[in-house]
């Protein structure tokens, strides 16, 4: 994925399916470095982590 698509997803009101390493995630915010995002893993724990934009996959 690229930074422009991340910005589109963040500004959209739609529920867009995005995965990180095969896990469904919710993009929380674009980080200041422009190469990573803070995400929440979907599921019972809703763990928050920082991941590289390049490793996100839109389903």
Domain extent listing, the chain: 3-58
pTM above 0.75, yes or no: yes
Tokens of 14: 């739609």
CATH 1.10.10 fits 3-58, yes or no: no
Tokens of 36: 């990573």
* 56 has pLDDT over 90: yes
What pLDDT digit, counting tens, does each position of 2-21 carry? 999 999 999 999 999 999 99
Locate the DSSP E strands across the chain: 18-20, 23-30, 36-41, 48-52, 56-58
């Amino acid at each position: 994925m690229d930074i422009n698509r991340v910005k589109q997803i963040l500004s959209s009101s739609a529920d867009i399916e995005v995965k990180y390493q095969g896990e469904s995630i919710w993009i929380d915010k674009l980080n200041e470095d422009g190469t990573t995002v803070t995400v929440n893993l979907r599921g019972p724990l809703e763990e928050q982590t920082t991941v590289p934009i390049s490793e996100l996959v839109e389903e």
